[in-house]
Structure 1
Amino acid sequence: MSQVLSAKLVSMLETVYPALDCDFLASELLTTMGLSPDQPPPAAHQNHWTESDIVLITYADTVQRDDEKPLVTLRQFLNRCLSDSISAVHILPFFPYSSDDGFSVMDYLAVNESHGNWEDVEAIAQDFKLMADLVINHMSARSRWFENFKRRIDPGKDYFFEGNPKDDLSAVVRPRTSPLLTSVHTEDGERYVWCTFSEDQVDLNFANPQVLIEFAAIVRYYLERGVIIFRLDAVAFLWKEPGTPSIHLQQTHELIKILRLLIEHHSPDAVVITETNVPNRENLTYFGNANEAHVIYNFSLPPLLINTLVTGDCKHLKTWLMSMPPAQMGTTYLNFIASHDGVGMRPTDGLLSEEEKQRLLKTMESFGGKVSFRRTPDGRDQPYEINIALYDALKGTSGNGVDHWQLQRFICAHTVMLALEGIPAFYIHSLLAKENDTERMEHTGRLRSINRSQWQLADLEQELDNPLSHHSKAYQELKRLIAIRRKQPAFHPNATQFTLHLGLKLFGFWRQSMRREQSVFCIHNISDELQQVALSDINLIGTDHWIDLIAGTAISDLSGCITLKPYQSVWLSNRD
């Protein structure tokens, strides 16, 4: 085996498993991954993305047709409607599951029969970069591994993390209000398993290196089936120690480095994304030194952007943007403003005051949203996320309630996302401007179902073909903006970005391409009133020819002003 690869792997393993024979464990992992002795290392600090990369997030069964497996229907919809707009598709967990719409996995190596089969997954991977979840923190209480845990046999006997009710667990950071420990009857008596999210989602025990080897085998299987982007679900909670917060522990960071090392040596163009819905500074640590996640979610963007658009004040969004470090080569941000989960409130810690958070929560509730909670170490229940469809989250303002600017506000939000440093990711229901699905939420009894609708393909196509439908209007305009974005080198995920200072009603930033052949000034009116911008304030170079890429109009008088309608955006570029 490559001595450099071996030495790196052993060094990381020794941090996690100091009492074990890490040379032997490294050999086991490399054999499991099928890495040859002369496997060359991947190029360092290499970007696996360009300005043309756009991600779609969807469940396997979001789009359905009678008498057809949803994965087959999904592929047809993607190829017919989005092949010119997206480069990658994140199919949320498509494995057999027992709860949480897929995130309580029963079998990592199987496809849910009701969705389709591995051949259907591979077919999508042939057409798009495929992103899949590695649900690595926990597994279903109905899985074979957990049944074996209760029977005290392998594989599974020592695969799940156990706690003791007498342990000091007061410092543990929780994302839920449910009990942390769950009592389980086993063949050798009562045991208590650690359940960060629910009693049906039992946390895995990575202190047992065999669990790591199992996941190396799972990763290799996914790679061989066409997965090229790995989303490490809830990875911040991976390593637990009673008496600590049991989040972001050093062993967790080392395990991410190990997985990345194995993945990128197997497939040099593969990408690791960490899903860490935590305060912004904590989230940034998952870049490591460009040796952990290739990409991290920009979790503070959704709540801050929504807050900006419903208050008409971009102060906090601008302050946050100025504080964000440029991602070094080989890393970038995943920008999203809606997902299958709610709008996280923890990422606003340190960015919004408690009064501002409460105002945002009340506004979202007035627009039909719900609030779910987590339990803090001192026993208090704190807002954890807002459950609401993005289209309805932007149906009005905090001061005046519902108004007639909903569609414009919604388009403005996505125009901001498309231009920011990073890779844009569209949740399918936002691309389609879906409203709150209150009926589905009431049917399932789960708040997150409000934004997890399912479409009959015929109904969806009818909506998209109807020029009067707001679904069609949003979809067509977003596709148009995507098409413009994908042609601009200044919108490369790692292109230079600087924040503009244009007051509180105009949110702006400047992007410059990596070869400096293009500059784009992105200016967004985030208020419900007309706003003027003096072109002299943004320093357009007089010798260049400037055009608004969105409207397609030339800017002739650089000493003048431009007027932006409510929620209008401009992308002022010095090249077409």
Structure 2
Amino acid sequence: MTTDFLSLPELKNKLGALLNYLYPNADTDALTQQCLEAIGPRINRAIVPPEQLWSEQDALLITYGNSIRSPNEKPLDTLEQFLHKHLQDTFSAVHVLPFFPHSSDGGFAVIDYTQVDAELGEWDDIETLGQDFKLMGDLVINHVSSQSGWFRNYQYGKDPGRDYFVEASPHYDLSMVVRPRTSPLLRAVETNEGVKHVWCTFSHDQIDVDFRNPKVLLEYLKIIGLYLDKGVQWLRLDAVAFLWKEIGTPCIHLPQTHEVIKLLRLLMEYKNAHAILISETNVPNRENLTYFGNSNEAHMIYNFSLPPLVIHALLSGNGQYLKGWLMSMPPSPVGCAYLNFTASHDGIGLRPAEGLLSDEELETFLKTLQSFGGRISSRTGQNGESKPYEANISLFDAFKGTYQGTDRWQEARLLCSQIIMLALEGIPAFYIHTLFATPNDLDKLEATQHNRSINRTNWHKGELETLLADPETPQHRIFNALQRLIRIRCAQPAFHPNATQFTLHLQPEVFGFWRQSLRRTQSIFCLNNLSDRPQEISLTNINLISTENWRDLISGEAVTDLYGTLTLAPYQCVWLTNYEKKV
């Protein structure tokens, strides 16, 4: 039996309260009705219990629509064929990075939210992917391309767009504004009314929209309604932390931003009870956690501190910072989950490591990544100083060696990082180039002069499949190993995204934690050697229950002496369990 998520009167009351806070001068009743009309007719009214929004069987693949290319094929067709051939039994969800017409920033300067980039395919291709996978799409909500119709209309004083953008005088004191870039915040533009200065948080091709205008909110609700109708079930709010602007504030994490997210979640769940809202907030850990709200904002938040900390642990051979972070992390609230990742289309965010890594550790970390071919991108601090913002490098090449230099353990370190991610509380997300052990793309970096291009390779399908079929290549070994590990993980109840997690206290070279299934039928002890030397662990320190049989899910080996010693080879990981569901 199914019931509505909220009755219409209840929904209107909740919406009205949020809208009255955001737009106190508006006609709240009329604006509430406009919001409902903008999101469009309902798709799915069935209540989904929080524990059933996701499960241990969920794993997400992150990819551009053209990460794999084949002559005379639409890239989205090529992607679909590759997924069906190789990965349909591995991943439940696919995040296709911005697939709209765009002018820059790898798709994140959107020209038209309602169209699919003709060079990739069309809406039918997106809908087909949404039939076979939980499909995740991007709502680039903070800004639009300077080539968009809205911005052209702004320049000509026409609707829609005439009053959609944030203006500010260059004489204002904007020193408090938090920036992720070093470019000037304001851009001078010619309009029918003369020169005006518009707000550009990210680049001068990405013009910030003004959510203080309720018409902008309604435009984005229409876009969300379209995405949901086209099969996009998971929605990623790009750069949402910067959404609301108030002169004299840092213009990040403002209360109004959180209220907008609450409103979006209400309307998304009203339209489709299976819809999931994900916040993308590349900020220090404490700030990131606020986007769960009171289980009424984002369903998922990116675990942004995980990439720098797990990479640091494997480069240094010491997990003290990673362990300290994990011990401080609260369980995700009811109806919420962490989205775990170690690599993405962007770089390794450094702000999420603030307060977690010391300045000395961060300096050594960045110098090591640079020695492996990485680049460092910067941002402007509140006092105008330049600060490291992200490290740009492929994850495979980030593990070329350690602080001592390059060595022979590159593949083992990469696999260790992914095994850690797979086992942690939350839903694992894999950037497609991690699966392929893609090295730094120095040719693309040189061609574009954009640091992020180093990790945005476009593989030719024939070349890639040749490498994947050859047992002598790292591409074959990593691809097959990760597929196997993901399938093992997805069969274990103790790896449910909300299953219990406790940190284990072991030597610094071993990062360990314990997971227990929601029904307490399965325990898994996750032990990971972060170093290039064997590590011995006394099993009495782990307290395996003596009346049960224990086995390592990864190697298949049984534990025969519960009071003995377990020796982990360099970068070896084990998942010791008292229960095994066959894959």
TM-score of the aligned structures, taking structure 1 as reference length: 0.98
Q: What's the secondary structure of 1:162's corresponding residue?
A: coil
Whole-Å separation in 2 of the counterparts to 1:389 and 1:356? 21
Letter in 1 for 2:25: A
Shift of 1:44: 6.5
Whole-Å separation in 1 of the counterparts to 2:463 and 2:519? 45
Partner of 1:545: 549
In the alignment, structure 1 residue 13 sits paired with structure 2 residue 13: no
Letter in 2 for 1:481: L
The 4+ residue runs of structure 1 with deviation greater than 4 A are 38-44
Partner of 1:309: 314
Contact 2:182 2:378 in 1 (8 A): yes
Contact 1:47 1:329 in 2 (8 A): no
The number of residue pairs the alignment matches comes to 574
Partner of 2:295: 290
Distance 1:447 1:404, change over 3 A: same
In the alignment, structure 1 residue 117 sits paired with structure 2 residue 126: no
Partner of 1:566: 570
**Of residues 326, 329, 345 in structure 2, which corresponds to 1:324?**
329
Query: Percent same amino acid among aligned pairs?
Result: 56
Contact 1:47 1:331 in 2 (8 A): no
Contact 1:16 1:251 in 2 (8 A): yes
Deviation track 1:198-246 (CA, whole Å, cap 9, x = no partner) reads: 0000000101100100111111111110000000000000001111000
Distance 1:359 1:242, change over 3 A: same
Contact 1:510 1:521 in 2 (8 A): yes
Partner of 1:533: 537
Letter in 1 for 2:469: D
Whole-Å separation in 2 of the counterparts to 1:283 and 1:358? 23
Whole-Å separation in 1 of the counterparts to 2:419 and 2:392? 22
Partner of 2:4: none
Shift of 1:499: 0.1
Q: What's the secondary structure of 1:60's corresponding residue?
A: coil
Whole-Å separation in 2 of the counterparts to 1:275 and 1:41? 27
Whole-Å separation in 2 of the counterparts to 1:511 and 1:208? 46
Shift of 1:523: 0.2
Whole-Å separation in 2 of the counterparts to 1:572 and 1:285? 34
Matches within 5 A, 1:254-265: 254-265=259-270
Deviation track 1:436-468 (CA, whole Å, cap 9, x = no partner) reads: 001110011100000000011111100000000
Matches within 5 A, 1:11-410: 11-35=17-41, 42=47, 45-398=50-403, 400-410=404-414
Shift of 1:17: 1.0
Q: What's the secondary structure of 2:155's corresponding residue?
A: helix
Whole-Å separation in 1 of the counterparts to 2:211 and 2:181? 22
Shift of 1:39: 9.6
Contact 1:57 1:427 in 2 (8 A): yes
Whole-Å separation in 2 of the counterparts to 1:457 and 1:373? 34
Q: What's the secondary structure of 2:321's corresponding residue?
A: helix
Whole-Å separation in 2 of the counterparts to 1:81 and 1:40? 34
Partner of 1:465: 469
Shift of 1:42: 4.3
Letter in 1 for 2:353: T
TM-score of the aligned structures, taking structure 2 as reference length: 0.97
Q: What's the secondary structure of 2:378's corresponding residue?
A: strand
Contact 2:59 2:427 in 1 (8 A): yes
Contact 1:5 1:41 in 2 (8 A): no
Whole-Å separation in 1 of the counterparts to 2:193 and 2:139? 31
Give the RMSD, CA atoms, in angstroms.
1.2
Whole-Å separation in 2 of the counterparts to 1:503 and 1:7? 54
Q: What's the secondary structure of 2:369's corresponding residue?
A: helix
Shift of 1:45: 3.8
Shift of 1:41: 8.4
Q: What's the secondary structure of 2:558's corresponding residue?
A: strand
Contact 1:42 1:264 in 2 (8 A): no
Distance 1:306 1:143, change over 3 A: same
Distance 1:388 1:39, change over 3 A: closer
Letter in 2 for 1:507: F
Letter in 1 for 2:18: M
Whole-Å separation in 2 of the counterparts to 1:548 and 1:87? 25
Deviation track 1:8-30 (CA, whole Å, cap 9, x = no partner) reads: 00111112112222121111101
Distance 1:490 1:52, change over 3 A: same
Distance 1:426 1:43, change over 3 A: closer
In the alignment, structure 1 residue 444 sits paired with structure 2 residue 445: no
Whole-Å separation in 2 of the counterparts to 1:185 and 1:452? 34
**Of residues 451, 458, 464 in structure 2, which corresponds to 1:454?**
458
Letter in 1 for 2:316: T
Q: What's the secondary structure of 1:556's corresponding residue?
A: coil
Mark the runs of 5 or more structure 1 residues left unpaired by the alignment: none
Contact 1:35 1:265 in 2 (8 A): no
Deviation track 1:39-73 (CA, whole Å, cap 9, x = no partner) reads: 96845645411001010000000101000100000
